[in-house]
Amino acid sequence: MEIGVITNPNSRKNRNRPGRAQALQTIVGDIGEVRQTETLDSIKPVLRDFLRKRARYWVADGGDGALHWMVRLGLEVLQEEEFADASYILPMTMPTNGGTIDFVASNVGIKGNAEGLLATMRRRIESGTDIAETDVDSMVIDGVRATASGDEAFRTYGFAVAAGGIGQRFFGKYYEHADPNARTIMKVVTQTLMSMPVGLSPLRHVAALAPLGQYARDMFAPTRARVEIDGMPLPGDEFTGLHVASMAIDLGGVLRFFGKAAEPGMMNALVGTPSPMTIVRNLPRMRRGAEMRGGGIVDRPCREMTITATGDELLAPIIDGERYEGLRSMTFKIGPRLRIPTVVASKAN
């Protein structure tokens, strides 16, 4: 077995494609298996089976979020006694541009849809042609999560995190849309700018105008937390930005961040207490992927960052497009270095 594919029939893009799994199975043929995973609990058994069959490639029929769960749960499975043998390692893992942003695929140069990518992989494997790969740093994220039965240890893995402040609020607005995409990014940015003259001025106290400013107030609401970067605490306990990543990201070709994560073994912390106007003035830099500048902004490489919630609001980070809830604290470090096949679907597909 060469290729193991997981597809979620309940995902936004697959809900109206009942024959999705069979269509992908036809493409990979007898060198691969396509398995449906309707819930998160159904992923681990499939990945165990892929490991037992020594699949060389794991492919997520989706984008950043689908890859996130494949990597996280795959690394958990590898810690089980059955797979303690050193011959079991995480196979090359690949997203297929099926998400709303697809920053991982963009970062490593994967181009095409799932059908084209799988067809290209099959042809290369059957012809004995090498498939190029790119190694990327992940982050290991440890913390404490509040649950109904008490606090629990928390661990996951990821590439980019909006833990609080403007980034986390942005994704909250972004995912409110039925079909979020690159245009949605511009809609959120535009609506924020249009709401600012009321939301961030005395006009917000005028009852008739207050609703017009709510969008901006939501977007720029700070997160109460303590932050340490490489053991040094940052001043203050309210932050309008709490972000960190192990790779540069491109949000739909509209905004670009975390260029300092390009150095192997380093993350890029982008945190601080910038004012709304400082954030707005940095929009041209966000377009270019340049370093953020201005009062209260920390945009620097780091090896470790810890965020601890201090207010009534627990952390609800967005990790690779997936939302987590109820975290009291999070510590970020460089995690396993992952291998991602760099496949470009041929025009014939």
How does DSSP assign 264-329, residue by residue?
TT-EEEEEE---HHHHHHTHHHHHHTPPP-STTEEEEEESEEEEEE-SSS-B--EETTEE---EEE
DSSP 344: B
- Res. 205: pLDDT tops 80: yes
What is the per-residue pLDDT across 260-275, written as a single tens digit (0 to 9) for each? 998 899 999 999 999 9
Strand, helix or coil for residue 134 = strand
CA 302 distance to own-chain centroid? 19
Q: What is the location of CATH 3.40.50.10330 in the chain?
A: 3-138
* Burial track 257-288 (b if 16+ CB lie within 10 A, e otherwise): bbbbbeeeebbbbbbbbbebebbeebeebbee
The pLDDT value given to residue 13: 78
- Res. 182: pLDDT tops 80: yes
What is the per-residue pLDDT across 23-46, written as a single tens digit (0 to 9) for each? 999 999 999 999 999 899 999 999
pTM: 0.92
The pLDDT value given to residue 348: 53
pLDDT band for position 349 (50/70/90)? low
CA 258 distance to own-chain centroid? 13
The CATH number of 160-319 is which of 2.60.200, 2.60.40, 3.40.1130, 1.20.272? 2.60.200
Rounded distance between C-alpha atoms, residue 40 and residue 34, angstroms: 16
Superfamily of domain 3-138: Probable inorganic polyphosphate/atp-NAD kinase; domain 1 (3.40.50.10330)
Rg (CA), the chain: 21
Q: What is the location of CATH 2.60.200 in the chain?
A: 160-319
Which among 305, 335, 348, 277 has a CA at the least distance from the CA of 135? 335
Which among 26, 1, 31 has a CA at the least distance from the CA of 127? 31
As given in the structure block, the two tokens for residue 313 are: 């609001």
